[in-house]
Amino acid sequence: YGDANQKVDYVFKVVLIGDSAVGKSQILARFARNEFSLDSKATIGVEFQTRTLVIQHKSVKAQIWDTAGQERYRAVTSAYYRGAVGAMLVYDITKRQTFDHIPRWLEELRAHADKNIVVILIGNKTDLEDQRAVPTEDAKEFAEKEGLFFLETSALNATNVETAFLTVLTEIFNIVS
Ligand code: GDP
Ligand code: MG
């Protein structure tokens, strides 16, 4: 964790999108700092965090952008998407509406981002399995139809968060290297 003083071979910008409160900021906190907070405040101001990791013997700096609570107003601007080579499209497995909004987010992404952007669909909060409202199979089917990677995660207990980022970053790496 953290960025050691090392040579950076690649910098990849990845954006987090999806409805408010699905866990985007906590997924980022888990990946960038291995932290989690149950009373996380709505994100204020556009911000990103970085983590440098090694992929196939190259140093890759992941610059992960988090929305600034604009998700409520669907006011995520094109500046947010500019230069992004990866996107994580997040919904909450306990809130059906957040999954039903995914096609809109995908539309928005395709309107603003580079057409070769690598996209992963993420169903977060798998620790709340007893409150599940979105069957895994529904999301899997949607992801396959749209050509997206797909994983279910829990930022709370860290399940699949690392794998989700590595899936996106490795795919980007394979495209650009
Ligand atoms: P954002 O608006 O998409 O950035 O969502 P946040 O990251 O701020 O999370 C919204 C709420 O969901 C906060 O209370 C988090 O603690 C909680 N949360 C985020 N991820 C998880 C998770 O994996 N499991 C559970 N149980 N709660 C989570
Ligand atoms: Mg947030």
ipTM, 2 dp: 0.99
pLDDT band at 61 (very low <50, low <70, confident <90, very high): very high
Which numbered ligand comes closest to the C-alpha of 155?
A: 1
Q: Give the distance (Å) from ligand 1 centre to CA of residue 57.
A: 33
What per-residue confidence (pLDDT) applies to 12? 98
Give the residue-averaged pLDDT of 123-147. 98
Strand partners, 105: none
Give the residue-averaged pLDDT of 114-129. 97
Least confident segment among 7-11, 38-42, 158-162: 38-42
Q: Ligand 1 atom 16: the closest Cα is on which residue?
A: 38
**First-to-final CA distance of the chain:** 24
Sign of the CA dihedral running 49, 6, 168, 124: negative
Which numbered ligand comes closest to the C-alpha of 19?
A: 1
The pTM assigned to this predicted structure is 0.93
The pocket around ligand 1, CB under 6 angstroms, is made up of: 20-26, 37-38, 40, 43, 124-125, 127-128, 154-156
User: Which atom belonging to ligand 1 lies closest to the Cα atom of 67?
Assistant: 4
What per-residue confidence (pLDDT) applies to 43? 59
Mutation pick for ligand 1 pocket among 17, 36, 40, 46 (CB with most ligand atoms within 8 Å): 40
Question: Is pLDDT at 149 greater than 80 in this prediction?
Answer: yes
pLDDT band at 35 (very low <50, low <70, confident <90, very high): confident
What per-residue confidence (pLDDT) applies to 64? 97
pLDDT band at 50 (very low <50, low <70, confident <90, very high): very high
Query: What is the Cα–Cα distance from 141 to 111, expressed in whole angstroms?
Result: 23
Give the residue-averaged pLDDT of 43-62. 87
Q: Ligand 1 atom 9: the closest Cα is on which residue?
A: 23
